[in-house]
Structure 1
Amino acid sequence: MGVLLSEGGALDFILWRHADAEDGVPDDARKLTVKGEKQAQQVGQWLKSHLPQSARILVSPAKRAHQTANALGLEFEITKQVGTGASVKSVIEAAGWPDAKGAVVVVGHQPTLGRLAAALLSGVEAEWSVKKSEVWWFSNRSHDDETQTILRAVMSPEFL
């Protein structure tokens, strides 16, 4: 399998919602269910086979996000900037979008990831749904002196 990293040194911005988690409180202590562990492994295997080794991985402080990110088998950084209740602005700032180079994976939550996906594609935050353990892979490129956002892939565990 080939790496999906875009050409020209642009940023690949990969949104990965945490896998299925148990109900309960406190919210940040919720763990993945057996189904969620399977989802994380399936998507993590696919994602790892496509990511460049130098990818930055930013993970919410929530336990379910750590467990999801662990499926990649790569080092990651825990930051509140992508945690539960994070704003679209804080996630964009943490990732360095659109000016950073390379690939950044954000393991986070709804509704933030859906709002971010909407903002990246339409320029306006909206209540879009990113399903559990789903990956949305964006790239940016310059075309006619304009920066464009491209949706390169959407992957759900049920397709793996």
Structure 2
Amino acid sequence: MNLILWRHAEAEDIAESDLARQLTPRGRKQAQTVAKWLKGHLEADTVVLVSPAARTIETAQALTDQYRIVPEIGPGADPSAVLTAARWPEGVAATVVVVGHQPTLGLVAADLVAGQRTEWTIKKGGLWWLSGRERNGNGQVVVRAVLAPDLV
């Protein structure tokens, strides 16, 4: 399975509530830039799971209008909620994109890659593309890509 951890793009600092915070003009550009790159690399049957926050929904909409809102992966979610929603390592699909938040996504990346729940930072609008595989009877995680919107 491919698991893509995509942090929402830059959002406004103040809104009616945390969940209502929307993308800034810069954030919309970040989301569009990364989405364009992703579109060239994703299979048609990719599943996109999104936090219920406005900023994650707007980020995902730059990629597709076919996504599932998953309340359990909202701001402050436990990293295990992300893995459960994606059904790691078997997957709800061969490729799952999770559009979410820090520090949760960084904790998931650190746990899968290094085996430790350490707070790794994923830049706003950035992503980590991880693949699970089995070698010699052991599960392994391969880092396929780490991308920041200003480098695309």
Task: State TM-score, norm by structure 1.
Answer: 0.91
How many residues align? The count is: 150
Aligned residue for 1:17?
A: 7
Q: 1:32-111 counterparts in 2 under 5 A?
A: 32-100=23-91, 101-111=93-103
Structure 2 residue runs without a partner (length 5+): none
After superposition, the CA RMSD in angstroms is 0.9
Structure 1 residue runs without a partner (length 5+): 1-10
Q: CA deviation at 1:74?
A: 3.9
Task: Give the whole-Å Cα distance in 1 for the aligned partners of 2:59 and 2:14.
Answer: 18
Task: Give the whole-Å Cα distance in 2 for the aligned partners of 1:74 and 1:137.
Answer: 21
Aligned residue for 1:157?
A: 149
> CA offsets per residue over residues 18-46 of structure 1, 9 Å max, x none?
00000114100000000000000000110
Q: Percent identity?
A: 48
Asked if the contact 1:80–1:86 (Cα under 8 Å) also holds between the matched residues in 2, the reply is no
Asked if the contact 1:16–1:134 (Cα under 8 Å) also holds between the matched residues in 2, the reply is yes
> CA offsets per residue over residues 106-135 of structure 1, 9 Å max, x none?
000000001111001111111110010001
Task: Give the whole-Å Cα distance in 1 for the aligned partners of 2:65 and 2:129.
Answer: 18
Aligned residue for 2:104?
A: 112
Task: State TM-score, norm by structure 2.
Answer: 0.96
> CA offsets per residue over residues 52-80 of structure 1, 9 Å max, x none?
11011000000000000000024000011
